[in-house]
């Protein structure tokens, strides 16, 4: 990518950072080559150390592979800037392109309807021509609770949208706005009371778990619930399309038009495949094509509210630039979060995944698709830049609430529609075949010739929620890791097809992504083999007095220093970086390992669990412990077993190593690296020891997990001793 500048936006290569990254990569790469030269001589030795070194050789090979593939992210760093104040020079407000907004939810028990409502209201209140905006909410579970909540939101929007416009407020998410502001004005108090009344009605219905007749006064609204018949279930029900707001007919309290709001629940059947979120997005793609057919599509998770009312203008700085729009597939904003504690205990901000890596890819042709906060060129979802010229509106000028339009929309949301149009999910729309449909879709769009842009603004464009207990964090990561393995093994794997379509440099980034689960191999081996060897007084690394010792020191501290610097450059803190690297260690030991095992069992034909929605429901005790930076274990999840087992082995090995050194000081020379690795692991595992041994609250490590892990650690220690004796 080359530097460029226009009155709408600019992109600049960070030459200083680029040079330093390349120098470091060259030096570190040479050190890795030297490491394998050392392994060659150690491995050929016939003594016990040589036989054990095969485990370290395997680990170092995978670590080296992951390091080399990660360097592509740092080869051409760029920074971008948008100039929305210059948009009027290019296009009038009345000529702004229409935008369809897709918001997905699936389970009101895990994704509170009020959260979805706040996201919807935040985008309906964008600083944008209201007649050009349409919000589609996909309710994949077909819940009455969601529809009721959206009906309430539609009524409140008539007050909220003009209030935001007149007062030019920046925070358009009502919950956040009222939490942060306590202005004593009559207008503020009126709108706050309206919101609190709406909130109370929604929460009462959710608590009751049912929408009763007395909750609905409008006969037309009551008619909307008639499709919830006796046989209606979340997995078996007809398509439901309900227009809640229509810009051509509905007005706000000031008499101005208001954006479209459409509820969509695609047809479900127990005999049909539904492809999880990807299937829901494709249904929205077809429904919106029948109703509004906007050329730009924004996809959002239900908990990812808009945090900047000027975001759409920033996006237009790219889509309105004639020099790039013909090949521009999407503009991706980073996933940013609210509600993180000061130390980001679980690494929920995912700075590497959602900011550092996409920023690096931006200099190579564009970032990956992160699934939310992404503005798609609708054309890009229907083929390559050369094969798709334009998409005309499939309907006519009829109102979107007209019977004929709703019938068409219901038809394209049916189960059988995709079976008659088999290119959906393969060549058209969001791609199927993996749980990470976002990264796979973005990757395939790049392979087809589309470019993308990473837009990381000073004020976060969107803010979402993060899981705040460890089990939810690990389950989410396991789902992502499983999806990456599906992409790795698919027909269009980045390892084979990607290198031809994108070139080795750009494809290496995607190769790095899909090999994520393989971190479990080197981390598990480094977390156990040196420690078990230490327990048996076996040295498997160079002595401190050996010149090769310096190489190991450089490789360890060089990798961590480079990662730390990258983290700080993206405005992270030292404490957050420490917690982030600890969570990398935890993820490699547990969810990456479980995802790999689950993937292998699936390939062997053994049934595994499907997609699970990450819970957005937060208990008061969980929130309190999270805010205090206390790990929450609570339930006896099997994913805690490897964490506890490794923690026990490292603690025993570290204590044994210290005792050995105290009574035989000369052994420190040959055992120092193993002692350091065990000590480093012990420091990382301090929250686990606390949960196992010191805590009595409900977030402590379950006794069943402690016992199982203790037995497993003992078995491993005994087995290793027998093998090496």
pLDDT value, residue 394: 46
The values of phi and psi at residue 468, to 5°, are -120, 20
Q: Does residue 393 carry a pLDDT above 60? A: no
The values of phi and psi at residue 434, to 5°, are -155, 155
107, 141 contact by CB (below 8 A): yes
pLDDT value, residue 362: 97
Residue with tokens 């087992």: 645
- Residue 505 backbone zone (phi > 0: left; psi -120 to 50: alpha; other: beta): alpha
Task: State how far the Cα of 592 lies from the Cα of 516, in Å rounded to an integer.
Answer: 7
Tell me the β-bridge partners of 262. 136, 243
Q: Does residue 431 carry a pLDDT above 90? A: yes
Greater confidence (120 vs 387) lies with: 120
Pairing of strands 296-301, 99-105: parallel
Taking only the tens place, the pLDDT of each residue in 259-289 is 999 999 999 999 899 999 999 999 999 999 9
Radius of gyration of the chain (CA): 27
Number of other residues whose CB lies within 10 A of the CB of residue 453: 24
Nearest to 349 by CA among 361, 341, 337: 337
User: Which residues does the annotation place in the binding site for Mn(2+)?
Assistant: 277, 301
| Mean pLDDT confidence for 67-78 | 97
685, 650 contact by CB (below 8 A): yes
107, 139 contact by CB (below 8 A): no
∠ Cα 78 556 470 (to 5°): 80
Cα torsion angle, 288, 289, 290, 293, sign: positive
Pairing of strands 78-82, 9-13: antiparallel
Q: Does residue 616 carry a pLDDT above 70? A: no
pLDDT value, residue 214: 81
575, 89 contact by CB (below 8 A): no
**Active-site residue, from 362, 438, 451, 472:** 438
| Mean pLDDT confidence for 524-537 | 96
User: Which residues does the annotation place in the binding site?
Assistant: 110-111, 140, 277, 301
Taking only the tens place, the pLDDT of each residue in 195-237 is 999 999 999 999 999 998 888 878 888 888 988 988 899 999 9
- Residue 605 backbone zone (phi > 0: left; psi -120 to 50: alpha; other: beta): left
Tell me the β-bridge partners of 104. 138, 301
82, 90 contact by CB (below 8 A): no
Q: Does residue 392 carry a pLDDT above 80? A: no
Task: State how far the Cα of 532 lies from the Cα of 56, in Å rounded to an integer.
Answer: 13
The values of phi and psi at residue 250, to 5°, are -85, 145
Taking only the tens place, the pLDDT of each residue in 432-467 is 999 999 999 999 999 999 999 999 999 999 999 999
Q: Does residue 612 carry a pLDDT above 80? A: no
Mean pLDDT computed over every residue of the chain: 93
Q: Does residue 132 carry a pLDDT above 70? A: yes
Verify whether residue 438 is a known catalytic residue.
yes
| pTM, rounded to two decimals | 0.95
**Active-site residue, from 100, 140, 344, 362:** 140
257, 250 contact by CB (below 8 A): yes
Banded pLDDT at 395 (limits 50, 70, 90): very low
Verify whether residue 139 is a known catalytic residue.
no
pLDDT value, residue 3: 86
| Mean pLDDT confidence for 633-659 | 95
Q: What is the DSSP string of 136-167?
A: EEEETT--HHHHHHHHHHHHHHHHHHHHHHHH
Task: State how far the Cα of 82 lies from the Cα of 457, in Å rounded to an integer.
Answer: 9
Taking only the tens place, the pLDDT of each residue in 92-124 is 988 999 999 999 999 999 999 999 999 999 999
Fold entry, domain 95-387+397-463:
Spore Coat Polysaccharide Biosynthesis Protein SpsA; Chain A (3.90.550)
Q: What is the DSSP string of 455-508?
A: ---SS-SEEB----SHHHHHHHHHHHHHHHHHHHTSTT-IIIIIHHHH-HHHHH
54, 40 contact by CB (below 8 A): no
Q: CA dist 690 to 40, 394, 526, 585, Å?
A: 41, 61, 23, 17
Residue 699: burial class (beta carbons within 10 Å; 0-12, 13-18, 19+): buried
Per-residue tokens: 204: 């009462």
- Residue 71 backbone zone (phi > 0: left; psi -120 to 50: alpha; other: beta): alpha
pLDDT value, residue 42: 76
- Residue 373 backbone zone (phi > 0: left; psi -120 to 50: alpha; other: beta): left
Q: Which of 53-57, 116-120, 570-574 is least confident?
A: 53-57
516, 69 contact by CB (below 8 A): no
Provide the percentage of residues in the chain whose pLDDT is more than 90: 85
Query: What residue ranges of the chain are covered by domains with CATH 3.90.550.10?
Result: 95-387+397-463
For residue 244, the SS3 value is strand
pLDDT value, residue 301: 97
Cα torsion angle, 434, 437, 438, 439, sign: positive
User: Which residues does the annotation place in the binding site for UDP-alpha-D-glucose?
Assistant: 110-111, 140
pLDDT value, residue 48: 64
Q: CA dist 193 to 45, 156, 530, Å?
A: 78, 11, 62
For residue 392, the SS3 value is coil
H-type alpha helices, 350-421: 351, 357-362, 403-412, 417-420
């Amino acid at each position: 990518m080359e530097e460029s500048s226009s009155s709408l936006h600019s992109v600049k290569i960070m030459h200083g950072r680029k040079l330093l990254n390349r120098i470091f990569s060259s030096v570190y790469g040479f050190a890795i080559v030297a490491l394998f030269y050392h392994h060659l001589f150690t491995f050929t030795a016939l003594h016990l150390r040589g036989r054990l070194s095969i485990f370290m050789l395997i680990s170092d090979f995978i670590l080296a592979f992951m390091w080399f593939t990660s360097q592509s992210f740092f080869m051409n760093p760029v920074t971008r800037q948008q100039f929305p104040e210059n948009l009027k020079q290019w296009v009038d407000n009345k000529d702004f392109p229409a935008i369809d907004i897709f918001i997905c939810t699936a389970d009101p028990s895990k994704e509170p309807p009020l959260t979805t409502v706040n996201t919807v209201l935040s985008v309906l209140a964008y600083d944008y021509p209201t007649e050009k905006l349409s919000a589609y909410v996909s309710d994949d579970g077909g819940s009455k609770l969601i529809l009721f909540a959206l009906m309430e939101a539609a009524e409140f929007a008539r007050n909220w949208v003009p209030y935001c416009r007149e007062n030019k407020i920046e925070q358009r998410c009502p919950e956040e706005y009222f939490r942060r502001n306590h202005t004593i004005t009559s207008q503020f108090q009126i709108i706050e009371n309206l919101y609190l009344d709406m909130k109370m009605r929604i929460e009462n219905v959710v608590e009751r778990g049912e929408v009763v007749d007395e909750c609905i006064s409008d006969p037309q609204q009551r008619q909307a619930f008639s499709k919830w018949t006796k046989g209606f279930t979340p997995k078996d029900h007809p398509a439901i399309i309900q227009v809640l707001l229509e810009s051509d007919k509905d007005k706000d309290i000031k008499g101005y038009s208001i954006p479209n709001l459409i509820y969509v629940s695609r047809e479900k059947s127990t005999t049909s495949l539904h492809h999880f979120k990807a299937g829901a997005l494709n249904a929205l793609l077809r429904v919106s094509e029948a109703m509004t057919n906007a050329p730009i599509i924004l996809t959002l998770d239900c908990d990812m509210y808009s945090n900047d009312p000027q975001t759409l203008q920033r996006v237009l700085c790219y889509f309105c630039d004639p020099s790039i729009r013909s090949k521009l597939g999407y503009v991706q904003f980073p996933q940013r979060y609210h509600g993180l504690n000061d130390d980001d205990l679980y690494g929920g901000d995912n700075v590497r995944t959602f900011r550092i890596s996409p920023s690096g890819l931006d200099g190579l042709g564009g970032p990956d698709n992160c699934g939310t906060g992404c503005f798609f060129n609708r054309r890009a979802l229907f083929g390559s830049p050369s094969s798709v010229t334009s998409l005309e509106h499939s309907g006519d000028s009829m109102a979107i609430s007209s019977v004929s339009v709703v019938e068409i929309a219901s038809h394209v949301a049916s189960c059988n529609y995709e079976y008659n149009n088999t290119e959906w999910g393969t060549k058209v729309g969001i791609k199927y075949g993996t749980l990470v449909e976002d990264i796979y879709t973005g990757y395939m769009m790049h392979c087809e010739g589309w470019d993308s842009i990473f837009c990381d603004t000073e004020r976060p464009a969107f803010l979402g929620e993060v899981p705040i207990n460890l089990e939810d964090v690990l389950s989410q990561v396991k789902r992502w890791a499983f999806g990456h393995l599906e992409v790795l093994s698919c027909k269009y794997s980045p390892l084979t097809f990607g290198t031809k379509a994108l070139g080795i440099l750009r494809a290496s980034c995607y190769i790095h992504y899909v090999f994520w689960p393989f971190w479990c191999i080197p981390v598990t081996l480094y977390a156990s083999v040196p420690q078990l060897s230490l327990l048996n007084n076996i040295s498997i690394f160079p002595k401190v007095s050996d010149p090769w010792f310096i190489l190991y020191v450089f490789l360890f501290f060089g990798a961590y220093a480079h990662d730390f610097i990258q983290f700080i450059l993206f405005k992270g803190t030292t404490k957050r970086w420490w917690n982030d690297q600890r969570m990398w260690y935890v993820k490699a030991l547990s969810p990456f390992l479980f995802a790999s095992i689950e993937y292998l069992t699936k390939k062997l034909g053994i049934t595994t669990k499907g997609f699970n929605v990450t819970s957005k429901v937060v208990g008061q005790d969980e929130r309190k412990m999270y805010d205090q930076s206390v790990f929450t274990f609570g339930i006896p999840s099997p994913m805690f077993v490897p964490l506890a087992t490794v923690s026990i082995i490292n603690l025993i090995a570290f204590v044994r190593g210290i005792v050995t050194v105290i009574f035989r000081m000369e052994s420190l020379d040959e055992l120092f690296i193993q002692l350091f690795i065990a000590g480093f692991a012990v420091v990382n595992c301090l929250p686990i020891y606390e949960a196992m041994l010191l805590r009595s609250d409900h977030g402590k490590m379950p006794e069943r997990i402690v016992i199982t892990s203790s037995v497993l650690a003992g078995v491993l220690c005994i087995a290793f001793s027998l093998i090496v004796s």
